[in-house]
Structure 1
Amino acid sequence: MMYFKDEVLTFIEEENVQFIKLLFFDVFGRQKNVSILPSRMSRTFEKGVTIDATAVTGFNNPDHSDLVLKPDPSTMTVLPWRSIDGCVIYMICDLYYPDGRRFDYDIRYILQKAVKKAQKVGLTIEMAAKFEFYLLKLDELGEKTNIPMDQAGYMDAAPLDRAENIRRDICLTLNEMGIEPHKSYHQYGKGQNEVDFHFNTALNAADEAAIFKWVVRSTAHLNGLWADFSPRPFKNQPGSGLHIQMRFFDTEDERIKEQFMAGILKYIRQMTLFLNPNKQSYDRFGKDQAPLFIDWSDQTRFTLLRIPALSPDIMEVRSPDCTCSVYLAFALLIEAGLKGIEDQLELIEPGACKRQDSMDILPTSLEEAKALAIESDFIANVLPDHIINTYIKKDQ
């Protein structure tokens, strides 16, 4: 349900809301929050809440040490696991300079601009995320171990699949929050799971994906487990990806779709740093069905850009992993596709890259991905220099 300011204020009064969490994200997509009491909500809608930008990764700018959080009322959601004594809600915030301008390094703003750019050329792009993650046991001190919670494999059933009830709790919690998962199941790796989402507008899909990891980690913690979203936590087990699906809501023009795909394939190497920002990310490529070649197919599930056999309108990019910022990942994929349309790029034949040279594979190291991003005019036109430099300087 989409709320307006007045509706949020009415909800707070009528539903015994006791606490309000205001969420935002740093440039790497890590969730941050500040909490307020209901009595401050009306003023917060009007004035916002000030934060210290110098203390947030990627926000540090000595000329603008203060930033203002302004909650987006349409994102208001009840937290099911925090509603025993009075109701707890959250809202995702947009970031502003004190003078009222949007904050340039707000990753949600970067996605909003990409969405508007697509709308200007008559395209409404819907997106969906498919998350893979491991559930690991904790030791007697409550610390993470490297022991998977089960020994099950692909789509195994209980009792071999011991994570079935955890995934059910995750999906039911999401459903209570108005976020509807599409499906969930055990993946190939021991202790590895997957939860997929339905399509939504790009911004709403990114908001849902950003909240998803919070729900999974909270549910795992309540069950005495650790949720591991890293790209390849075990060398002898499959890595975990974040597969991103896209489709056009308002056109069936196959030529437009092919040009959009061609743009993604052309710029995927240059944007990989932001889709795979962790050193471990590059241990995943080319192993256990993770993509390596810059290719597309409507026949195999394991290519970089996949067209599902039963859903030819869907484009699925399979290289990103869960350490990325979904807001930046969605924005870059949209911008690359729009550039393909603008330049009327021709889509390569499926399987073509396997017959060419090594330039048609994804970067094989974090350092290579950084070098490609630094040299990219495409990246420079989409992302602020400060965000690019923050990613370049990040060690892992």
Structure 2
Amino acid sequence: MKGGRNLNNQNIREELLRKIENFDVEFIHLQFTDIMGIMKNVSITVEQLDKALDNRIMFDGSSIDGFVRIEESDMYLVPDLTTFIVFPWTNLHKEARLICDIYNMDGTPFEGCPRNTLKRVIRESEKMGYRLKVGPECEFFLFNTDEKGNPSLETHDDAGYFDLAPIDLGGNARNDMTIALKEMGFKIETSHHEAAPGQHEIDFEYDDALITADNIMTFKMVVRTIAQRNGLHATFMPKPKFGVNGSGMHLNMSLSTLENKNVFYDKNNYLQLSEIAYYFLGGLIEHARAYTALTNPTVNSYKRLVPGYEAPVLIAWSANNRSPLIRIPAERGMGTRIELRSPDPSANPYLALAATLKAGLDGIKNKIKPPEQVTSNAYEMESDEVRERGIKKLPTNLYEAIKELSKNEVIKSSLGEHVYKKFTNAALYEWNEYSKYVSLWEIDRYLKKF
């Protein structure tokens, strides 16, 4: 049974065993992600490590949402040895983790494992000669907790974009997060307060798509853990408060050759973008309404994608401003990239990257040309101009996004039949529950009126 990156490399295994001995690790968490992007965990003692490294740790897949039925429940955890990390916040009893792929009893990769889903699309990309590099911009909120430790909606500060302490009272917590992430091997680029009170962003370095997806899951775990240790609650909910900006997870994407040459860069083009870059951009534009179900997978996601709060609404692109769905950052050469601005941090990163990579690859395969770029502020464009230019809008709610996904065979194929069915069933269940719920807004608006 195979899994992970270079899993059979004996040198990696020996190095891992040395680290465990040197750090005196006692517990190891075998982590994996369910279809909706929630991290799961099976913990073992160090005495069970050999069993784990030989891929003999089993779990009940029927207990995980979106996995399998009870009559086919036994599944294997196959650890990727390159993902070994020691948690820096554990002292008395050192703990570490390994990220795992899910395998069937017959030794084949489980098609419902989101990590396996992304790896399958990555293999398709590599057969075309391309490797996807991704740099995420993960935003989150920090809220005060009550005397029982439950989260409130009270922010710990009234700071704004790039503000410093003492206005930014979350600075200490954010510094602790940054230090913990660095100790775990992250290369942190920037850390700052975002636009809304209590909102923050920590950016880490570009990497291959699979590593980045792993890092996003690890990042969210670290942020929430360190926030709790600072008496705060961290949330990656896209829009926790009305009237302020929501939290996004912009994806900076580029393709390189297998020899690590950026194929989006062409110094002879007007914008110094290659033909491959334009086709990839065309694919992202063409399939945007369908993959939005994966990049924005909750009812709450669409409370962020509204006019007036710096989130994209129009499916357009620009090399000059940040208002459309996609912008082209100014850096060129190896830094040439496309920034997709719609995703939010509630997304399952494995599925979001699988879907957006598939969209871009389809653009390359079918030579899909992007429309003319939008040079004016997309937030201020009149409806008549939008219609005249044929510019489409992102879905306005989860149900609309799921319907768009159901009509798009390209994005559905990126997921596979199992993940597509389980994901859409879960999303539609959430939509139906939301549709039945009577909100405080309705009470305030209608109780006295009718």
TM-score range relative to shorter protein: over 0.9
- Give the 3-state SS of the residue equivalent to 2:300 in structure 1: helix
Is 1:24–1:93's contact at 8 Å kept on the other side of the alignment?
A: yes
Give 1:331-370 correspondences, 5 Å limit.
Answer: 331-351=354-374, 355-357=385-387, 360-370=392-402
Matched residue type, 1:367: Y
Q: CA deviation at 1:116?
A: 1.5
- Give the 3-state SS of the residue equivalent to 1:81 in structure 2: coil
Q: What is residue 88 of structure 1 aligned with on the other side?
A: 95
Please identify, of 283-292 and 378-387, the stretch whose mean Cα deviation from structure 2 is larger. Answer: 378-387
Matched residue type, 2:412: A
Is 1:9–1:42's contact at 8 Å kept on the other side of the alignment?
A: no
Is 2:289–2:395's contact at 8 Å kept on the other side of the alignment?
A: yes
Distance 1:153 1:169, change over 3 A: same
How many aligned residue pairs are there?
Answer: 395
1:378 aligns with 2:385: no
Give CA deviations for 1:309-351 in whole Å, capped at 9, x if unaligned: 2347111111011111011111111111100000011121112
Is 1:76–1:91's contact at 8 Å kept on the other side of the alignment?
A: yes
Q: CA deviation at 1:379?
A: 2.3
Q: What is residue 307 of structure 1 aligned with on the other side?
A: 328
- Counterpart of 2:249 (choices 213, 233, 242) is 242
Is 2:165–2:171's contact at 8 Å kept on the other side of the alignment?
A: yes
Q: CA deviation at 1:62?
A: 4.1
Separation (CA, whole Å) in 2 of partners of 1:156 and 1:70: 44
Separation (CA, whole Å) in 2 of partners of 1:389 and 1:267: 19
Is 2:324–2:374's contact at 8 Å kept on the other side of the alignment?
A: no
Q: CA deviation at 1:229?
A: 1.0
Separation (CA, whole Å) in 2 of partners of 1:104 and 1:299: 41
Separation (CA, whole Å) in 2 of partners of 1:7 and 1:86: 21
Q: What is residue 284 of structure 1 aligned with on the other side?
A: 304
Q: What is residue 317 of structure 1 aligned with on the other side?
A: 340
Percent same amino acid among aligned pairs? 34
Q: CA deviation at 1:122?
A: 1.2
Q: What is residue 260 of structure 1 aligned with on the other side?
A: 280
Q: CA deviation at 1:359?
A: 6.5
Separation (CA, whole Å) in 2 of partners of 1:373 and 1:348: 22
Q: What is residue 448 of structure 2 aligned with on the other side?
A: none
1:191 aligns with 2:191: no
- Give the 3-state SS of the residue equivalent to 1:32 in structure 2: strand
- Give the 3-state SS of the residue equivalent to 1:69 in structure 2: strand
Q: What is residue 270 of structure 2 aligned with on the other side?
A: none
Please identify, of 147-156 and 282-291, the stretch whose mean Cα deviation from structure 2 is larger. Answer: 282-291
Is 1:171–1:180's contact at 8 Å kept on the other side of the alignment?
A: no
Is 2:30–2:41's contact at 8 Å kept on the other side of the alignment?
A: yes
The CA RMSD over aligned residues, in Å, is 1.8
1:392 aligns with 2:424: yes
Give 1:1-396 correspondences, 5 Å limit.
Answer: 4-82=12-90, 84-249=91-256, 250=261, 251=263, 252-253=265-266, 254-285=274-305, 286-311=307-332, 313-351=336-374, 355-357=385-387, 360-394=392-426, 395-396=430-431
Matched residue type, 2:314: F
TM-score (ref. length: structure 2): 0.84
Is 1:128–1:200's contact at 8 Å kept on the other side of the alignment?
A: yes
- Give the 3-state SS of the residue equivalent to 1:363 in structure 2: coil
Separation (CA, whole Å) in 1 of partners of 2:411 and 2:277: 22
TM-score (ref. length: structure 1): 0.96
Matched residue type, 1:13: E
Structure with larger Rg? 2
Separation (CA, whole Å) in 2 of partners of 1:309 and 1:10: 44
- Give the 3-state SS of the residue equivalent to 1:384 in structure 2: helix
Separation (CA, whole Å) in 2 of partners of 1:48 and 1:175: 32
Is 1:277–1:391's contact at 8 Å kept on the other side of the alignment?
A: no
Q: CA deviation at 1:384?
A: 2.3
Give CA deviations for 1:231-257 in whole Å, capped at 9, x if unaligned: 111111111111111122322350001
Is 1:301–1:308's contact at 8 Å kept on the other side of the alignment?
A: no
Is 1:151–1:190's contact at 8 Å kept on the other side of the alignment?
A: yes
Distance 1:184 1:106, change over 3 A: same
Separation (CA, whole Å) in 2 of partners of 1:14 and 1:166: 28
Separation (CA, whole Å) in 2 of partners of 1:370 and 1:119: 29
Q: CA deviation at 1:63?
A: 4.8
Is 1:184–1:194's contact at 8 Å kept on the other side of the alignment?
A: yes
Separation (CA, whole Å) in 2 of partners of 1:392 and 1:328: 13
Separation (CA, whole Å) in 2 of partners of 1:325 and 1:304: 19
Give CA deviations for 1:155-211 in whole Å, capped at 9, x if unaligned: 011111111111111111000000122111011101111111110111111111111
Is 2:282–2:369's contact at 8 Å kept on the other side of the alignment?
A: yes
Matched residue type, 2:279: Q
- Give the 3-state SS of the residue equivalent to 2:98 in structure 1: strand
Give structure 2 stretches of 5+ with no counterpart. Answer: 1-5, 267-273, 432-450
Give CA deviations for 1:73-113 in whole Å, capped at 9, x if unaligned: 0000010011x124321010011001100000111111111
Give CA deviations for 1:345-384 in whole Å, capped at 9, x if unaligned: 1121112996443871000111101111112111221112
Is 2:132–2:209's contact at 8 Å kept on the other side of the alignment?
A: yes
Is 2:117–2:416's contact at 8 Å kept on the other side of the alignment?
A: no
Separation (CA, whole Å) in 2 of partners of 1:47 and 1:280: 38
Q: CA deviation at 1:29?
A: 1.2
